[in-house]
């Protein structure tokens, strides 16, 4: 995308414990070393509104939250995030690294929760205005390994309380999305952080900055 005044939108996706949060700073440092101006952000979050919504969604006390309420909260956070952060930064030529975006909603609420995927696409069109990533790197890992990583890291939120079968459906959803979406690439999240970073960097160099 060299010479394009618009920035570049990269998303890291994956199941719980796949390593997105670890990999984003490594990828940021690599891109900065190549002269890119990089903005890192996350969903839900990335704005004051989004951070409050994130607290509500992930709070383990909210076990009674319905799947529909959860879905609409994610989209509310995304609408604010796209309007306040993502579009303005792209228009200013930044490279954006985002921890989760639309494909997480399709995987978790579509494949995991079983909500109507046509409805999910319609809501996503509203909340994003049709914005899609230039590249989505889907970090793939065995479900049990990912959940074990989160336990070791002391992470405990409402998504961690879901069944292993739920997380397996989410992983299967990510695999299907990687097959369907031309901008999505499945990358193994197994191994040490620097090994995974090397795989991610190779994809970014091949697709966006050779």
DSSP-assigned states of every residue in 56-114: HHH-TT-TT--HHHHHHHHHHHHHHHIIIIIHHHHHTTPEEEEE--HHHHIIIIIIIT-
User: Per the confidence metrics, is the pTM higher than 0.85?
Assistant: yes
Contact 186, 175 (CB under 8 A): yes
Say what the pLDDT of residue 2 is: 42
Say what the pLDDT of residue 3 is: 45
Tell me which fold the domain 8-43+82-115+132-207 belongs to: Rossmann fold (3.40.50)
Encode the chain (210 residues) as per-residue pLDDT tens digits: 344 589 999 999 999 989 999 999 999 999 999 999 999 999 999 999 999 999 999 998 998 999 999 999 999 999 999 999 999 999 999 999 999 999 999 999 999 999 999 999 999 999 999 999 999 999 999 998 888 877 776 677 677 778 899 999 999 999 999 999 999 999 999 999 999 999 999 999 999 976
56: left (phi over 0), alpha (psi -120 to 50) or beta: alpha
- CA torsion sign for 44, 45, 48, 54 is positive
Q: What is the CA radius of gyration of the chain?
A: 16
Q: Do strands 95-99 and 135-140 pair parallel, antiparallel, or not at all (unpaired)?
A: unpaired
Say what the pLDDT of residue 94 is: 97
Domain borders along the chain are 8-43+82-115+132-207
Say what the pLDDT of residue 4 is: 52
Say what the pLDDT of residue 10 is: 98
Say what the pLDDT of residue 153 is: 67
Q: What angle do CA 175, 51, 188 make, to 5 degrees?
A: 25
């Amino acid at each position: 995308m060299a010479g394009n005044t618009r920035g570049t939108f990269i998303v890291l996706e994956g199941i719980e414990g796949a390593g997105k949060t670890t990999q984003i700073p490594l990828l940021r440092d690599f891109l900065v070393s190549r002269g890119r101006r990089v903005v890192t952000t996350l969903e839900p979050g990335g704005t004051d509104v989004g951070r409050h919504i994130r607290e509500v969604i992930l709070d383990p006390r909210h076990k009674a939250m319905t799947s529909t309420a959860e879905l609409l909260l994610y989209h509310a956070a995304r609408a604010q995030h796209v309007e306040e952060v993502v579009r303005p930064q792209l228009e200013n030529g930044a490279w954006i690294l985002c921890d989760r975006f639309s494909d997480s909603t399709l995987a978790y609420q579509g494949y995991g929760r079983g909500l109507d995927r046509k409805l999910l696409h319609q809501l996503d069109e509203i909340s994003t205005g049709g914005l899609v990533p230039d590249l989505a790197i889907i970090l793939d890992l065995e479900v049990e390994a990912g959940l074990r990583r989160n336990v070791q890291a002391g992470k405990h939120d409402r998504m961690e309380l879901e069944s292993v079968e739920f997380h397996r459906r989410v992983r299967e959803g990510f695999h299907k999305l990687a097959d369907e979406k031309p901008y999505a690439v499945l990358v193994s999240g197994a191994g040490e952080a620097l090994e995974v970073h090397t795989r991610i960097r190779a994809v970014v160099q091949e697709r966006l900055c050779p």
